[in-house]
Amino acid sequence: MLESGAMRLALADVHSILSALIEATDDFTLVLDGEFRILRSSRKAETLLGRSAAGLEGRPVEECIVPEGREGFLRLARSMKRTRAGKVTFLSKQGERQQVCFNLAAFRLRSGAGRGFVLAGRSLGEEALPRGCVDASNGLARRMLSGFADPVFLIDGRSRKVGDCNRAAVETFGFPREEVLGRRLLDRGMDEEHRREARRIAAEAWRTYGTAGVYQARINYPVRGGGFLPCDLTGLPFFGPDGSLESIIVILVERTAEATRDAELTRLAEEVKSFACKLSTMAGNRCTHLPGPSLSDMGFTPRQVEILGLSTSGASAKEMGFQLGIAESTVKNHLSAIYRKLGVTSRVGCLSAIVSRHIRIE
């Protein structure tokens, strides 16, 4: 009886047995075919990889592994050993990284249908940061990568390349994580002007890190699909026990709204400047034949009349001081006195008052 049962078990579909085992386990488990495509997945694996069972079925397992770990995993998996063991970092659909300690065992399907594999393991949590980063920053890097709302990049101090980034970096700039890792932070397709600026910023930043300083700058970071986002960059260097630069935490805070506001203020300033020029022209053209009182009749001194005459030409306080042979500060004092007499607070208001009240500049 026992022998008969064993024979029936041997002839059973191994795949269905494994499916039943997967349903009963809380561990990270994948059933793979001979080409390492996913046949079945446990709930733990689906949660960690951020995909449904249907989304994983038929997918090559290497697509779920970080790019830098794929070759090593496949080399181990294709070895002749019956059971393989190791660690590999999986990449979820949402860009999260999880390191898994696994065992990979081969099994033979019935009727000569080939072989498959069972990958069973347990998650070790987030991928360990590059050597020295956690100790150097006292865990700050890990916490910022997992919970910071703004884009965060972890730069390796030796290679100067991105070792990791958080989800906000992927969502803000649109570049997949695998396109970011292993590259310089500012290594993006740009025109020559932006490349020069990127090189200048990088050189300045590394000089600052070399003196254990915090680097801050306003940069334009490229967005996938074209264009740039204005960001405030802050780089925090961390050093190992031997004094070598181990890692840099770079935070980018988007300043789009601020840039829009600055552009609007610039536009308004240009409009005011244009309006002032028009007023100056009007005042200059009409200063000798306006029907109203003259400045002298209103109690303005000859020097103040001279300054107002030059003001209608658009000359700055410095230029007026040079032409009159007096200090720029003296010109500004005279202008302040003129404004008080006319009841205004600026040059535009002054010129507007002269035109609207038909005052002759004489």
pLDDT tens digits along 193-238: 878 888 899 999 998 888 878 899 988 898 888 888 888 999 988 8
Task: Name 248's bridge partners.
Answer: 155, 237
Residue 50 has φ and ψ, to the nearest 5°, of: 70, 30
Asked whether residue 67 carries a pLDDT value surpassing 50, the answer given is yes
Report yes or no on 362 lying in a domain: no
The predicted model scores a pTM of 0.41
Residues 95 and 8 in one domain: yes
Residues 36, 69, single domain; the answer is: yes
**Mean pLDDT score, 238-254:** 83
> What sign does the CA torsion over 175, 177, 178, 183 have?
positive
In-domain check, residue 63: yes
The predicted model gives 293-304 an average pLDDT of: 85
Query: What's the confidence (pLDDT) of residue 23?
Result: 64
What distance in Å separates the CA atoms of residue 89 and residue 125, rounded to the nearest whole number? 10
Asked whether residue 142 falls in the same domain as residue 96, the answer is no
Strand pairing category for 115-126 and 228-239: unpaired
Residue 241 located in a structural domain: yes
Q: Which of 31, 23, 29 is nearest to 102 (CA)?
A: 29
> pLDDT > 70: what percent of the chain?
75
| 100 and 20 fall within a common domain | yes
Note the pLDDT of residue 190.
65
Tell me: pLDDT of 289 over 70.
no
Give the C-alpha distances (Å, rounded to integers) separating 327 from 302, 320, 321, 333, 346: 17, 9, 5, 10, 20
End position of a domain, from candidates 77, 109, 126: 126
- Please indicate, yes or no, whether residues 312 and 349 belong to a single structural domain of this protein: yes
Domain ranges, residue 64: 2-126
Bridge partner list, 28: 121
Per-residue model confidence (pLDDT) at position 130:
42
Predicted local distance difference test score (pLDDT) of residue 247: 86
Per-residue pLDDT at 162 exceeds 60? yes
Whole-number pLDDT of residue 5 = 40
pLDDT class of 81 with cuts at 50, 70, 90: low
In a domain, residue 271? The reply is yes
Kindly report the CATH number assigned to the domain that includes residue 304: 1.10.10.10
> How many domains in the chain?
3
pLDDT at 59 (0 to 100): 94
DSSP percent split of the chain into helix, strand, coil, nearest 5? 45, 25, 30
DSSP code for 110: G
Whole-number pLDDT of residue 299:
86
What's the pLDDT score for residue 63? 93
What's the chain's average pLDDT? 78
Do residue 144 and residue 208 come from a single domain?
Answer: yes
Q: Is the pLDDT of residue 186 over 60?
A: yes
Give yes or no: residues 78 and 152 share one domain.
no
Query: Do 146 and 101 share a domain, yes or no?
Result: no
The residue that leads in pLDDT, 184 or 5, is 184
Domain of 145, CATH number, reads 3.30.450.20
Residue after which a domain boundary falls, among 92, 126, 160: 126
User: Environment class of residue 41 by beta-carbon count within 10 Å: exposed (0-12), middle (13-18) or buried (19+)?
Assistant: buried
56 domain-assigned: yes
* Separation of alpha carbons 193 and 314, rounded Å: 34
User: Considering the domain boundaries, does residue 100 fall inside one?
Assistant: yes
Residue 133 has pLDDT above 60, yes or no: no
Residue 361 covered by a domain? no
Instruction: Flag whether 11 is in a domain.
Output: yes
Do 94 and 54 belong to one domain? yes
pLDDT of the residue at 265: 67
Do 176 and 235 share a domain, yes or no?
A: yes
Assess whether pLDDT exceeds 50 at residue 157.
yes
Q: Within this chain, do residues 162 and 115 fall inside the same structural domain, yes or no?
A: no
Res 126: pLDDT? 44
Of 126, 157, 178, which residue sits at a domain end? 126
On the question of pLDDT at 60 being above 90, the answer is yes
Binned at pLDDT 50, 70 and 90, residue 187 comes out as: confident
Under the banding of pLDDT at 50, 70 and 90, the label for residue 24 is low
Q: Which of residues 107 and 301 earns the better pLDDT score? A: 301
Mean pLDDT, residues 226-252:
85
Clarify whether residues 303 and 273 are in a common domain.
Answer: yes
